[in-house]
Structure 1
Amino acid sequence: MIRAVIYCRCSTEEESQKNALEKQVAEAESSVRQYGWVLVDRYVESRSGTTAKGRNEYKRLFNDLLTDKFDVIVIKSQDRLMRNTKDWYLFVDRLCTEQKKLYMYIENKFYSTDDALITGIKAILAEEYSRELSKKINNAHRNRQRDGGNVMLPGNAYGFKRMPDKSVALVEKEAEIKREMYRLCAAGYGTRTISTIMRNRGIVNRDGKPFTSSYILRMLRNPINKGTAVMGKYHFDFDSKRTIKNPKEKIYIHEDKVPRTVSDELWNAANEQIDKRSVKTKDGEDDIGKNPGKYQLSGKIVCGMCGQPYWRKVHRKHSNHELIYTWACSSYLELGRSDNLRARPNLRKVFLENEKGCDNINIAENEFYAVLEEICSNQYQKNKKKIIEKIMKLLSKSLNNQDGTKEIEKLEREQEDIERKMKFLVDKLIDGVLTDQMYKTKQEELEKKRDQNKKKILELTERTSNTQNIKDRLQEIETRLNDDDLFKKATIDDMLEEVDKIVVYPRYMEIYFSLSSVTGCMDLKIFDGDKKCFRVDYGNRLDYKGRQCDAREVVVDLIRENPRITGKMIAKEIGCSLSGANYKLKVLKKEGRIRFNGAGGKGCWEILE
C-alpha cells in the first residue's frame, strides 16, 4: 500500500480568499483517495513565503524526507511548495536521493528527473513573480506611510484594538494600566520595580503572563502611547530575505494618528527618568539593553542554582563615578533574592510577593576575567600532556574504525562470485535446466545482492579516502597541539570561543567545552560524548558579600585574641582602611555578635556567643 502525505500552503494572493487553505486541503485529500493511497500525515502551512525560512511545516516535511514515513508527497502545484530556485533544487535533490515521489494534482502528473530543466525554469519565473509582488507591496506600504494612512498595529498590541474601519481605538482598562506604569516610571521607579509591582497586583498581559521589565521599557519608549505614529522604520528586502532598518529620511512621523494613552508631559517625564538611568557609550547611544548578546560572556554564563542565564549590569562607583560592570542571575534581577532577609532593601524598593528569586552570587566582571586568565595560564599548561595524549588516542581509534580496506576487498570478492553465479544461471537457462520463472527469481536475487554490495563499496571507498585525509590532518593536529602557542597564548578570547557554557555556583564554576572545537576538527565528527567539563574552585573570591563575612570573622578572632584591640590595630592587621575596620565593627555590633564595654575609647570588647 502506497503511503501519501499532503502539503498545503496559500500564496500571498490567495490569503484574502475565504477558506482558500481549507479548499486546498480538501482537494489534496481527494487526490489521495482517488488513487487509493493511505494518507499518513498532513503538512498545512498557515503562512505564505517565498523561502523555507519561518515555514515550520515545510521544514518538518523536508526533515521527514529522510525517514521511511511516506512514499508520495501530494501538492497543488510547484509554486505551492516554494518560489525560491535554490530551495527547490535542494528539495528535489533530497526527494530523488530518498526515492520519494512528488505528485502535483493540478497538472495530474508526477515529478521526474526529465522535468528538471522545466521545473527549474518555473522556479525562476515564480521567484521573479514574487520579487515583483514584494516590490509592489513595499511600494504600497511606503505610499501609505508617507500619506499618513491607517496605522498597522499588531493584533495583540496591548492597550489598543483595531476597529472594522481599520482605525485604532483604546482598550480603556489596559490603557489605565499603561498610564500607571508611566506614572511609576516618572516617580523614579525602574522597569524591574514596575514589573514587580504589577506582579504583586496580579496584573498580567493578554497571554496571561507577567509583564517583563524589557517589555515595559519598550512600551514606555514607544511614542504611539502619546498618539504619535512612527512609520517606515523597517522594510523587507526580497533579495537578502531580511528585514532592514530604513535611514531616518525614509521614516515618517505622524502626530495624533491614534488616541492618546498618556499626555505629552507624562510621556516626557517618564522617558527623562529612563534617560537619567541609562549609560551612554562613546557614540552617545544607550548602552544598556541594546544589542543583547554582544559581549563575550553573553549567553555563556548560566546560574547553577536556578538554571537561568546571567545578565550584564552597569552602575557607577559613588566615590569617583567609575563604571562598574557586573554579571548577575536574571532570576535575581527579575525577582530578587529568595529570602527577603538577603534582599538588601536599600537596593530593592519593592519585594515580590509569593515569588522566589535566586540567591546566587553577583560577579564583578574584572574579577571573573582574572579567574579565566588563571585558567588559561595554569589549567591548560598543567594538563597539556594529558590532553594531547587523550586526543591523539581518540584520533587513532577513529582512524582504525574508519579504515575499510579489508571490508572492500571482501565485498569485491563477493561481487566476483555473484558475477560467476549469474553467468552460470544463463548457461543453465540455455541448457533447459532452469525454467524462465526460476531463472528470473534467482537473477533478481543476485542483482539485488550485487547492487547492495556496490553501494557498500562506494560508501567504504569514500570513508577510506576520508581516512587518508584524516591521517594527513592527524600530523597537522599533533604539531598544533605540541606548539606552545596553543597553550601559552590561550587567551580569554580564544578560550571563550571554545567554551559552550560556564555554570556558576557561589564557591565554584563548571566550564563546559567541546574537544572537537578545541582541536579544530569539527568536520570529522570523531568524538563521541564530545562535551567535556572541568571544575574551578574559587571560594569566595567572586562573592563580595562572602568576602566581607569572612573579613568580619577575622575581626572576631582578633577580638578574641585581644579584647582591647582598637579599630586602627584591626585595620593594620587585615589590611584595610580605618573606616573599613570601623564599619566591620559596626556590622558585628548590629548583628549582636560583639559589644564594647566602656566609654570614651577606654574599655574592652566582648564576644556575644
Structure 2
Amino acid sequence: MKVAIYVRVSTDEQAKEGFSIPAQRERLRAFCASQGWEIVQEYIEEGWSAKDLERPQMRQLLKDIKKGNIDIILVYRLDRLTRSVLDLYLLLQTFEKYNVAFRSATEVYDTSTAMGRLFITLVAALAQWERENLAERVKFGIEQMIDEGKKPGGHSPYGYKFDKDFNCTIVEEEAKTVQMIYRLYCDGYGYRGIADRLNELGIKPRIAKEWNHNSIRDILMNDIYIGTYRWGNKVVQNNHPPIISETLFKKAQKEKRKKKR
C-alpha cells in the first residue's frame, strides 16, 4: 500500500505536547511500519490553520491524489486534516472518486462504509463547533480586556503608542504627518497624491518602506484619530487623546463621499 502522511500544526499549537511536527511524523512512520505500508510522500504543513483547505501542502496533496500514486492518506488525528464539516465532505468525495482510503493513527475510522463516513462527519462537526466556540471565547476575552482598560495585542496605530495597560502616548512627529494627510485630503489631494507627496518629503511610515494609497486611505477612514477605539462591535468613545479634531475628520468623510459621487 502506497501511503501519504499529512502532518499539520497551527501557530498556537506549536508548543503543545504531542502536536509538534517531529512527534506526529514519528508516530505516523511507526504506524506505517507496523502495517507494512510504504510511505511515498510526506506533506508537512507548519503554521497553517485547518479552518479551510487553502494550504500549500494540502493543495499539493490533492494534486498528487489525482495522479493515482496514493492508496491511503494517514494523519495523526482527524483535526490535523480539517476542522470544517463542509471541507471534510469535499475531501471524502475526492478520496472516494480516486479510490483513496483515509486513516487516522489515533482514531478508528473506516471510510469504505456509509456508517464510517457518517461517524467521521459527526466528529468533524464537533471539531468545528470547538473551533467556533474557542473564537467566541477569545472575542469575549478581548472585549473584557477593553472594559478593564487593557489593550488587546497588535500594533499601535500610526501616531500613537499604546502600552499593555491601554495608556496612550501621542508620537508627535507621526501625529504631525497624520494632520498633514487630513489637510491635504481636504484640500483636494487624492490617496495616491498624498502618498507621493509624503514619499517625496522623505517621511517614512512606521512599518512599510514607503507610503501607498492603501495606507493613506486607512488613516483617513480611521476614527481612532478623534479618540475612538474600535474592536469588532466594541466601540469606546473618548478613549484616548485625539490627534485631529472631529470637525476635520467629518470634513474628510464628506470629501470622500463627494469624490465617490
TM-score band w.r.t. shorter chain: 0.7 to 0.9
Look up the SS of the partner of 2:236 in the other structure: strand
User: 1:130-163 CA distances to partner (integer Å, 9 max, x unpaired)?
Assistant: 4443443444445455x36434464484445564
Look up the SS of the partner of 1:99 in the other structure: coil
Distance between the aligned counterparts of 1:173 and 1:71, measured in 2? 62
- Displacement of 1:121: 2.4
Distance between the aligned counterparts of 1:59 and 1:208, measured in 2? 32
Look up the SS of the partner of 2:43 in the other structure: strand
Matched, 1:122 2:101: no
Give the aligned partner of residue 269 of structure 1: 248
- Displacement of 1:77: 0.9
8 Å contact 1:185–1:191 — kept in the other structure? yes
Unaligned runs of 5+ in 2: none
8 Å contact 1:159–1:171 — kept in the other structure? yes
Distance between the aligned counterparts of 1:5 and 1:252, measured in 2? 46
Look up the SS of the partner of 1:106 in the other structure: coil
Give the aligned partner of residue 306 of structure 1: none
Q: Which has the larger radius of gyration?
A: 1
Structure 1 residue identity aligned to 2:41: V
- Displacement of 1:216: 1.2
Give the aligned partner of residue 193 of structure 2: 193
Give the 3 Å change call, closer, same or farther, for CA 154–211 of structure 1 in structure 2.
Answer: farther
- Residues 76-475 of structure 1 correspond to what in structure 2 (within 5 A)? 76-107=76-107, 111-114=110-113, 115-144=116-145, 147=147, 149-152=149-152, 154-155=154-155, 157-160=157-160, 163=163, 174-185=174-185, 189-205=189-205, 206-212=207-213, 214-233=214-233, 252-257=235-240, 260=242, 262-264=243-245, 268-269=247-248, 271-273=250-252, 275-276=254-255, 278-279=257-258, 288=260
Distance between the aligned counterparts of 1:140 and 1:164, measured in 2? 15
User: 1:327-357 CA distances to partner (integer Å, 9 max, x unpaired)?
Assistant: xxxxxxxxxxxxxxxxxxxxxxxxxxxxxxx
8 Å contact 2:71–2:101 — kept in the other structure? yes
Distance between the aligned counterparts of 1:277 and 1:128, measured in 2? 41
Structure 2 residue identity aligned to 1:97: K
Distance between the aligned counterparts of 1:254 and 1:38, measured in 2? 59
Distance between the aligned counterparts of 1:110 and 1:80, measured in 2? 14
- Displacement of 1:94: 1.2
8 Å contact 1:204–1:211 — kept in the other structure? no
User: 1:383-426 CA distances to partner (integer Å, 9 max, x unpaired)?
Assistant: xxxxxxxxxxxxxxxxxxxxxxxxxxxxxxxxxxxxxxxxxxxx
Structure 2 residue identity aligned to 1:30: E
Give the 3 Å change call, closer, same or farther, for CA 78–201 of structure 1 in structure 2.
Answer: same
How many residues are matched? 253
8 Å contact 2:204–2:211 — kept in the other structure? yes
- Residues 539-558 of structure 1 correspond to what in structure 2 (within 5 A)? none
Look up the SS of the partner of 1:218 in the other structure: helix
TM-score normalised by length of structure 1? 0.35
Distance between the aligned counterparts of 1:40 and 1:172, measured in 2? 56
Give the 3 Å change call, closer, same or farther, for CA 177–105 of structure 1 in structure 2.
Answer: farther
Look up the SS of the partner of 1:215 in the other structure: helix
Structure 2 residue identity aligned to 1:195: A
Give the aligned partner of residue 66 of structure 2: 66
User: 1:194-219 CA distances to partner (integer Å, 9 max, x unpaired)?
Assistant: 1220232344542324321x431331
Unaligned runs of 5+ in 1: 234-250, 280-286, 289-313, 315-609
- Displacement of 1:229: 0.7
Distance between the aligned counterparts of 1:139 and 1:195, measured in 2? 37
Does 1 or 2 have the higher relative contact order (CA < 8 Å, sep 6+)?
Answer: 2
Distance between the aligned counterparts of 1:208 and 1:22, measured in 2? 40
Matched, 1:29 2:17: no
Distance between the aligned counterparts of 2:28 and 2:162, measured in 1? 41
Distance between the aligned counterparts of 2:237 and 2:172, measured in 1? 23
TM-score normalised by length of structure 2? 0.73
Give the aligned partner of residue 8 of structure 1: 8
Give the 3 Å change call, closer, same or farther, for CA 95–168 of structure 1 in structure 2.
Answer: farther
Give the 3 Å change call, closer, same or farther, for CA 190–19 of structure 1 in structure 2.
Answer: same
Distance between the aligned counterparts of 1:82 and 1:278, measured in 2? 43
Give the aligned partner of residue 46 of structure 1: 47
8 Å contact 1:2–1:72 — kept in the other structure? yes
- Displacement of 1:164: 5.4
Runs of 4+ off more than 6 Å: none
Structure 1 residue identity aligned to 2:122: I
8 Å contact 2:151–2:162 — kept in the other structure? no
Distance between the aligned counterparts of 1:268 and 1:219, measured in 2? 16
Give the 3 Å change call, closer, same or farther, for CA 196–131 of structure 1 in structure 2.
Answer: closer
Structure 1 residue identity aligned to 2:23: E
CA RMSD of aligned residues (A): 3.8
